[in-house]
Amino acid sequence: MRHIISMLLENEPGALSRVVGLFSQRNFNIETLNVAPTDDPTLSRLTVTTNGDERVIEQITKHLNRLIDVVKLVDLTEGAHIERELMLVKVKAQGGAREEVKRTADIFRAHIVDVTPSVYTVQITGDAPKLDAFLQAMAPVGVLEVARTGVSGIARGDKVLSL
């Protein structure tokens, strides 16, 4: 099963490599990875999506918790949560396709953020299936380049991940 594990990490050099290294060292799988500083400059928030049965996920969370640089950790998929990913995608936009791309982008509530005579750059946010669906819709037109941030997520309701 797919899990979204989100953690607060000491904003220290090498902290990220410890997390990533753990996954390869223990033969765990990383599907997406997203990391950036938080409002507290000493902490980064790192979100990883991974696959595994209950036993594997338990091992992943335990081994992550064992890393000294991991301050706090939550498996978002254990409860109601919001997950988002941002994608920038360049698509061919020439002739009739220009209008078609614009229409499809509107349907997906995406934004065209850069324009040339032959290319549109589209920004779209959502969960992973939505982004996948958009790429599929664009395939006939011609997808030139894709940049995805990986999943970021947060729990619904009053629950917060903080110190």
Partner 1 sequence: MELLSGADMIARFLKDEGVEYIYGYPGGAALHIYDALFRQEDVKHILVRHEQAATHMADGYARASGKPGVVLVTSGPGATNAVTGIATAYMDSIPMVVLCGQVMSSLIGEDAFQETDIVGVTRPIVKHSFSIRHPSDIPTVLKKAFYIASSGRPGPVVVDIPKDMTAPTERYEYSYPRKVRLRSYNPAGRGHTGQIRKAVDLLTSAERPVIFAGGGVITGRASEALTDLAHRLNLPVITSLMGIGAFPQNDPRSLGWPGMHGSYESNMAMHESDLVLGVGVRFDDRVTNNVSKFCPHARIIHIDVDPSSISKTVHADVPIVGAADSVLNEMLNQLGQRQPAEPVSLDDWWAKIDGWRDERRGKLYEPAAPGEPLKPQQVVEAVHRITHGDAYVVTDVGQHQMFAAQYYRFNQPNRWISSSGLGTMGYGFPAAMGIKLSYPDEHVVLFTGEGSFQMMMQELSTCKQFGIPVKIVNLNNASLGMVRQWQDLNYKSRHAHSYMESLPDFEKLIEAYGFRAITVHTPEELDAALEETFRSKDELVFLDVHVDPREHVYPMQVPQGAMCDMLLSKTERT
Size of interface with partner 1, in residues (CB under 8 A): 20
Question: How far is it, in rounded angstroms, from Cα 91 to Cα 22?
Answer: 37
Tell me how far, at minimum, the Cβ of 7 lies from partner 1, in Å.
10
> Pick from 1, 2, 21, 36: which binds partner 1 (CB under 8 A)?
21
Q: Which residues contact 135 (CB under 8 A, 6 or more apart)?
A: 87, 89, 143, 146
Q: Is 162 in the site for partner 1 (CB under 8 A)?
A: no
Question: How far is it, in rounded angstroms, from Cα 155 to Cα 107?
Answer: 27
First and final C-alpha spacing in the chain: 28
State both tokens at 94. Answer: 């020439």
Binding string, residues 35-74; x marks residues near partner 1 by CB under 8 A: --------------------x--xx--xx-xx-xxxxx--
Residues that bind partner 1 (CB under 8 A): 10, 13-14, 17-18, 21, 25, 55, 58-59, 62-63, 65-66, 68-72, 163
